[in-house]
Amino acid sequence: MKVGFVGLGIMGTPMARNLLKAGHQLVVYDVVPETVAGMVASGAARGESARDVAARSEVTITMVPDGPEVEAVILGPAGALEGAARGSTLVDMSSISPLVAQKVGAACEARGVHFLDAPVSGGEPKAIDGTLAIMVGGPAAAFERVKPILLKMGASAVLVGDIGSGNVAKLANQIVVALNIAAMSEALVLATKAGVDAEKVYQAIRGGLAGSTVLDAKAPMVLARNFKPGFRIELHIKDLANALSAAHAVGAPIPLTSQIMEIMQALKVEGREKEDHSSVVHFYEKLANVEVKKRS
């Protein structure tokens, strides 16, 4: 199947590479020419714009930072919707507000183009190995058509409901991830302050009820003092802002999300917004005046 891919960032590039490995004819576009050149060197065709990519594809995937960028690359001048043929499918895999997804979906429907919102979870490591969790909102028929493509990028693809539902699921995911990181940070700082080896505490609890994918992904990073981003704090702030907005709109109080949002905002003020979200531990370390790390 001819697939288009718009947005070749930290997540988009490995996702697109997995589609190439799966044998799809791929047309790509990004505002950064170097990322496009890298994909072309790997066998993709160069698109001149989002419109050009969609015009040459049966399914067009977009993977950009937030709602304004999604609206620009799909609905804007030279956007994907201008090039998409009736009956083709646009799949936005960005993490955005459900309301923006619904707006874009309505515009696509008016043009006879199928639309799915399909944000992902798993960060760069799972994007690279093709094991992302994909949460999808939209028509069942369109989902079934593109599901084989999605499963070349993810270990799972679940249709949650109508358009916008995929991003509601992603916001729920981001709340759980953020609060898991905060809990892990509190726990490892407690262990360190009490004079106990934090790495051994991690090993002791990971097999019990406290164990989680988040713990196994982020505790080793903290212990190694490795805050190279798999998922940047500034992007998690964006997702939590969308979560708070959506929650307020439907009347669902989420007080713990408000607290972790303020912790991440404090880290942004310190200049840590480009670091991995495991950098939340710095907030707790500063309060306790300790550093969580492997013992030599």
> Nearest Cα to 243, choosing from 260, 230, 228?
260
Catalytic residue among 103, 126, 170, 238: 170
d(CA 78, CA 291): 50
Instruction: Identify whether 218 is a catalytic site residue.
Output: no
What is the DSSP code (8-state) at residue 112? Answer: T
d(CA 155, CA 152): 8
> Nearest Cα to 36, choosing from 67, 13, 52, 4?
13
d(CA 68, CA 199): 41
Question: Are the C-beta atoms of residues 171 and 190 closer than 8 Å to each other?
Answer: no
d(CA 201, CA 13): 36
Question: Are the C-beta atoms of residues 60 and 142 closer than 8 Å to each other?
Answer: no
d(CA 44, CA 4): 10
Q: At what angle do helices 165-193 and 255-269 cross, to 10 degrees?
A: 70
Counted residue by residue, the chain has a size of 296
First to last CA, the chain: 53
Long-range contacts of 203-207 (CB under 8 A, 24+ apart): none
Signed CA dihedral, 168, 174, 177, 178: sign only: negative
Question: Are the C-beta atoms of residues 132 and 122 closer than 8 Å to each other?
Answer: yes
The catalytic site residues sit at: 170
